[in-house]
Amino acid sequence: MKKPLPPPLSEQIIWLTGASSGIGAALLHGLSKRCQWLIISARNSDRLQQLAEPHPNVVALSADVTSRDAMQAVAADIAARFGRIDTLIANAGSCEYLDVRQFDSALVKRVIDTNVYGLVNSLEAALPLIRNSQRGYLVAVSSSVTYLALPQAQAYGASKAAVRYFMEAMRADLASEHIDVSVVSPGFVKTPLTDRNRFRMPMRISANVAAEAIIKGLQRRPWEIHFPRRFTWLLQLLGCLPADLRLALTRRAATRLPTSPQKQPD
Ligand SMILES: NC(=O)c1ccc[n+]([C@@H]2O[C@H](COP(=O)([O-])OP(=O)(O)OC[C@H]3O[C@@H](n4cnc5c(N)ncnc54)[C@H](OP(=O)(O)O)[C@@H]3O)[C@@H](O)[C@H]2O)c1
């Protein structure tokens, strides 16, 4: 069967998770102007309603990505209203850094639950709807942290590496169904997630600039949408160094980081 053309953004029904803040909220503003319908989800339902209110084509359906039932309920609601989605943007995520002197498996589990099982629940809920599109598209937000194992990022980096692997395998398996798959690998973006960091974040960009880079990428559907390029290329290059050199670099970085790199939430 000939591969159908992807529908233009203006005809697409898009489901965006993690839309209540940061990159997701910026994507909401950018996408609502361009797509036909945008379904937004996150846990904070008041904030979602507030964000959706000015846009007649935005529907807010709150859900915790770590709950399979909640994600299935959102999918059932979307099925009843629209019967399909054309694009899923699995953007919901969280970041916590590990202090190895107080090794904390509960912290690791929290991060992996949100970033990995959250993605898995989102894919399971979205796939039947995506299969009703003429050419569906699955997008997951990973991170440029996957290019190089960084100190204190054991939980976050491992979760985002799992996202990358999972989506690459999905891309292979879904190609015969003409479903496209991309990962997004941002560098540092100014959002509530990074506002908590107490270390220097080189080349940090605004959430609006990140959202525009993602929207531009959505129209081409490459395997990976990464930005800002100068930063992601540099990390990719460092990631290709022989292991001894790479480890010497990251060992040095480890000695420079504050022992608690993240401010505690208020
Ligand atoms: N900022 C960066 O520098 C950067 C770099 C690389 C990758 N990323 C990735 O980009 C994505 C967005 O991050 P951000 O920087 O925009 O962070 P953010 O401002 O903290 O936003 C995170 C979003 O995810 C939602 N979320 C978190 N846990 C959730 C859960 N259990 N169920 C449903 N929604 C949940 C939050 O909404 P609720 O709290 O309302 O649920 C919020 O809308 C994340 O996947 C992050 O890992 C960010």
**Domains contained in the chain, CATH given:** 9-256 (3.40.50.720)
Q: What is the Å distance from ligand 1's center to 197 Cα?
A: 14
172 and 130 Cβ atoms separated by less than 8 Å: no
- pLDDT score recorded for residue 112: 98
204 and 189 Cβ atoms separated by less than 8 Å: yes
Given a cut of 50, the residues of the chain with pLDDT beneath it are none
The answer, yes or no, to whether any atom of ligand 1 lies below 6 A from the CB of 218, is: no
HSE-CB of 109 using CA atoms within 13 angstroms: 4
- pLDDT score recorded for residue 262: 79
HSE-CB of 219 using CA atoms within 13 angstroms: 12
Q: Name the CA dihedral angle for 106, 111, 116, 119, rounded to a multiple of 10 degrees.
A: 130
| Bond prior to 228 in cis (omega within 30° of 0) | yes
The answer, yes or no, to whether any atom of ligand 1 lies below 6 A from the CB of 66, is: yes
The structure tokens listed for 114 are: 């949100």
Give the separation between CA 205 and CA 63, rounded to whole angstroms.
Answer: 28
The neighbouring-strand residues paired with 224 are 183
For the chain, the residue count is 266
Q: Which amino acid is at 78?
A: I
3-state percent helix, strand, coil for the chain, nearest multiple of 5: 50, 15, 35
The answer, yes or no, to whether any atom of ligand 1 lies below 6 A from the CB of 133, is: no
- pLDDT score recorded for residue 218: 97
- In the chain, how long is the greatest CA-to-CA distance? 57
The structure tokens listed for 134 are: 């003429």
- pLDDT score recorded for residue 1: 67
- pLDDT score recorded for residue 257: 79
- Catalytic residue numbers, as ranges: 156
DSSP 8-class letter at 117: I
User: Could you tell me which of 118, 174, 115, 121 has the C-alpha nearest to residue 146?
Assistant: 115
Other Cβ atoms less than 10 A from the Cβ of 29: the count is: 16
- pLDDT score recorded for residue 52: 98
Protein residue with its CA nearest to atom 42 in ligand 1: 18
Protein residue with its CA nearest to atom 1 in ligand 1: 189
The answer, yes or no, to whether any atom of ligand 1 lies below 6 A from the CB of 64, is: yes
> Tokens 């100068």 identify what position?
230
